[in-house]
């Protein structure tokens, strides 16, 4: 074991062997190997900076660059062979293999002035930046489907709910846009997160900076970073970009979970507003009639997983002293799993919505005249009666309907006038669901023009 330690980047200081369990406990290669391309690109940029600073000759840089590209080709082809107990992380693995390809004398110069502390921070930021751009694309695609369906199905009227009780008539598209605009806010937040992820720590050293005068800005530009992290101590220790991403993903998954919950309810036989496509449903092993909304239930369940990533990592961070601590290795796995969980969830949500069958006749059948009680109150408001009084009068009409067993829209003019003489014969026009939704015409309301305006706002946010 002591011999193996000599092959590690830090092995010179140690003479005793490591506990085999500690070797495995310490290794990160089996999950951080996903960063192989980013580690290679960062190493090439660092080698170029060392060449420009006079640390490497042109020949040495060319050998290192050529060798690193050969190592990456092995990763890409699935031919890279990890050496257990030696390749403790992706940085060690790549440098070890580079030495085998071009010789240790030249390969050993690559790490001049560099620390794995800055390496892993650079690799993670490069990888996460690219993955967040993919997630941004998934979210934009999902929102385009939302906007398209909201436009196409804008004439469908359904009950709106508060406390899961029927409240007022709304447009089905108004419901879609309530979540669409929440997801659009998530998109705005994601774009802000990407800006803070895309900052370079390369050149920060272990904590105190680089002693060879390398050009950090040139490396950042080569790697596509927008800016630098300006403090070397903070640069190697900063995992706020991971925490912020996990917080962002948790917010998005909360929205997806609530969206899924509504659709689970709407797809039940008791509601029947929508039917899920077979591609996003499963059956029962016992009851042949069942069609279960497993896609939506998994979306709802995965939100708990996402919250766990965030809460767990925040607890890891909260007590750490400054600069790098090995605890920060715990930032990689939740980041990787969060990217997959969130990315897959957005794509599943889009698939569900794109293939969803709406049943507008069921939506309309669920409307209830009691849902127009507020419209009844508003009728008297327009005749100059204070709303607090009209609210009480409308409540009396509801009570009369219940007491007589007569639907409120079937109460006679005489019955309504008996509740309040200010009702006139045109009161019958109030009991119209389509008119009710069109009356909500202030910006943000459920009238057709308002909903289409919301769609336009959403589309503008996608650009």
Q: Is 447 among the domain residues? A: no
Q: What Å distances lie between residue 264 and 154, 258, 268, 442, 454, CA to CA? A: 21, 10, 7, 30, 25
The reply to whether 244 and 264 lie within a common domain is yes
Three-state SS string across the chain, please?
Answer: CHHHHHCCCCHHHCCCCCCHHHHHHHCCHHHHHHHHHHHHHHHHHHHHHHHHCCCCCHHHHHHHHHHHHHHHHHHHHCCCCCCCCCCCCHHHHHHHHHHHHHCHHHHCCCCCCCCHHHHHHHHHHHHHHHHHHHHHHHHHHHHHHHHHHHHHCCCCEEEEEECCEEEEEEEHHHHHHHHHHHHHHHHHHHHHHHHHHCEECCCCCCCCCCCCCCCHHHHHHHCCCCEECCCHHHHHHCCHHHHHHHHHHHHHHHHHHHHHHHHHHHCCCCCCCEECCHHHCECCCCCCCCCECHHHHHHHHHHHHHHHHHHHHHHHHCCCCCCCCHHHHHHHHHHHHHHHHHHHHHHHHHHHHHHCEECHHHHHHCCCHHHHHHHHHHHHHCCCCCHHHHHHHHHHHHHHHHHHCCCHHHCCHHHHHHHCCCCCHHHHHHCCHHHHHHHCCCCCCCCHHHHHHHHHHHHHHCC
Using alpha carbons only, give the angle 7, 12, 15 rounded to the nearest 5 degrees: 95
Is 2 within 8 Å of 15 (Cβ atoms)?
Answer: yes
The reply to whether 9 and 107 lie within a common domain is yes
Contacts of 313 (CB under 8 A, 6+ apart): 239, 242, 243, 246, 330, 331, 334
Q: 161 forms bridges with which residues in the sheet?
A: 166
Q: Is 440 among the domain residues? A: no
Active site residues: 163, 284
The reply to whether 327 and 397 lie within a common domain is no
The reply to whether 151 and 217 lie within a common domain is yes
377: left (phi over 0), alpha (psi -120 to 50) or beta: alpha
Give 104-154 pLDDT, tens digit per residue. Answer: 999 999 999 999 999 999 999 999 999 999 999 999 999 999 999 999 999
Q: How many domains does the chain have?
A: 3
Domain final position from 112, 146, 171: 112
What does pTM read for this prediction? 0.93
Q: Is 84 among the domain residues? A: yes
Is 440 within 8 Å of 446 (Cβ atoms)?
Answer: yes
Low-confidence residues of the chain, pLDDT below 70?
1-16, 283-286, 288-290
Residue with tokens 């509601």: 271
Is the sign of the CA dihedral 408, 413, 416, 420 positive or negative? positive
Burial of 95 (0-12, 13-18, 19+ CB in 10 A): buried
Domain final position from 90, 112, 134: 112
Nearest to 188 by CA among 250, 139, 239: 139
Is 244 within 8 Å of 250 (Cβ atoms)?
Answer: no
The reply to whether 89 and 212 lie within a common domain is no
Q: Please report the pLDDT score of residue 284 as a whole number.
A: 65
Q: Is 437 among the domain residues? A: no
Nearest to 8 by CA among 98, 115, 85: 85
Q: Is 66 among the domain residues? A: yes
Is 46 within 8 Å of 108 (Cβ atoms)?
Answer: no
Q: Please report the pLDDT score of residue 119 as a whole number.
A: 97
Domain final position from 313, 345, 365: 365
Q: Please report the pLDDT score of residue 10 as a whole number.
A: 47
Cα dihedral 265, 268, 274, 276 in deg (nearest 10): 100
Q: Is 81 among the domain residues? A: yes
Q: Is 247 among the domain residues? A: yes
The reply to whether 101 and 125 lie within a common domain is no
CATH number of the domain that residue 397 is part of: 1.10.40.30
Tokens of 403: 């007491």
Q: How far apart are CA 55 and CA 172, in angstroms?
A: 66
The reply to whether 74 and 12 lie within a common domain is yes
The reply to whether 336 and 394 lie within a common domain is no
Q: Is 65 among the domain residues? A: yes
CATH number of the domain that residue 177 is part of: 1.20.200.10
CATH number of the domain that residue 63 is part of: 1.10.275.10
Number of other residues whose CB lies within 10 A of the CB of residue 1: 12
Gyration radius of the chain's alpha carbons: 31
Q: Please report the pLDDT score of residue 7 as a whole number.
A: 53
Domain span at residue 392 reads 369-431
Burial of 42 (0-12, 13-18, 19+ CB in 10 A): buried
The reply to whether 295 and 427 lie within a common domain is no
Nearest to 341 by CA among 262, 264, 265, 245: 245
The reply to whether 252 and 392 lie within a common domain is no
The reply to whether 101 and 14 lie within a common domain is yes
Q: Please report the pLDDT score of residue 12 as a whole number.
A: 53
The reply to whether 200 and 318 lie within a common domain is yes
């Amino acid at each position: 074991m002591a011999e193996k330690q000599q092959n590690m980047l830090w092995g010179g200081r140690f003479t005793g062997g490591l506990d085999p369990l500690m070797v495995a406990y310490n290794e990160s290669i089996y999950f951080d190997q996903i960063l192989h391309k980013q580690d290679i690109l960062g190493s090439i940029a660092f080698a170029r900076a060392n060449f420009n600073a006079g640390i490497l000759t042109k020949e040495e840089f060319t050998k290192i660059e050529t060798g690193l590209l050969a190592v990456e080709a092995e990763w890409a082809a699935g031919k890279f062979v990890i050496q257990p107990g030696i390749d403790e992380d992706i940085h060690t693995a790549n440098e070890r293999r580079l030495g085998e390809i071009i010789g240790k004398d030249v390969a050993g110069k690559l790490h001049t002035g560099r620390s794995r502390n800055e390496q892993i921070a650079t690799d993670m930021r490069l990888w996460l930046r690219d993955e967040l751009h993919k997630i941004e694309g998934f979210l934009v695609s999902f929102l385009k489907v939302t906007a398209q369906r909201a436009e196409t199905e804008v004439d469908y009227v359904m009950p709106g709910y508060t406390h899961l009780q029927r409240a007022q008539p709304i447009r089905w598209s108004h419901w879609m846009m309530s979540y669409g605009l929440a997801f659009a806010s998530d998109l705005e937040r994601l774009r802000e997160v990407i800006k803070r992820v895309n900052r370079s720590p390369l050149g920060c050293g272990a904590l105190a900076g680089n002693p060879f005068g390398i050009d950090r800005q040139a490396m950042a530009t080569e790697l596509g970073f927008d800016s630098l992290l300006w403090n070397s101590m903070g640069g190697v220790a900063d995992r706020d970009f991971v925490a912020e991403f996990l917080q962002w993903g948790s917010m998005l998954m909360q929205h997806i979970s609530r969206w899924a919950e509504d659709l689970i309810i709407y797809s039940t036989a008791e509601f029947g507003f929508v039917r899920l496509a077979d591609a996003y449903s499963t059956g029962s092993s016992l009851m042949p009639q069942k069609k279960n909304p497993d896609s939506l239930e998994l979306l709802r369940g995965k939100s708990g997983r996402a919250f766990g990533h965030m809460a767990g990592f925040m607890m890891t961070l909260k007590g750490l002293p400054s600069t790098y601590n090995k605890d920060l290795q715990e930032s990689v796995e939740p980041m990787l799993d969060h990217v997959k969980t969130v990315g897959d969830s957005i794509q599943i949500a889009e698939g569900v919505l794109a293939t969803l069958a709406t049943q507008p006749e069921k939506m309309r059948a669920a409307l209830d005249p009691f849902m127009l009680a507020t419209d009844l109150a508003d009728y008297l408001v327009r005749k100059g009666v204070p709303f607090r009084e009209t609210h009480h009068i409308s409540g009396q009409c509801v009570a009369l309907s219940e007491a007589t067993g007569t639907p409120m829209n079937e109460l006679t003019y005489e019955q309504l006038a008996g509740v309040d003489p200010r009702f006139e014969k045109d009161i019958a026009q109030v009991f119209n669901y389509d008119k009710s939704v069109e009356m909500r015409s202030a910006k943000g309301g459920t009238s057709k023009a308002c909903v289409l305006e919301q769609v336009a706002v959403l589309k503008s946010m996608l650009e």
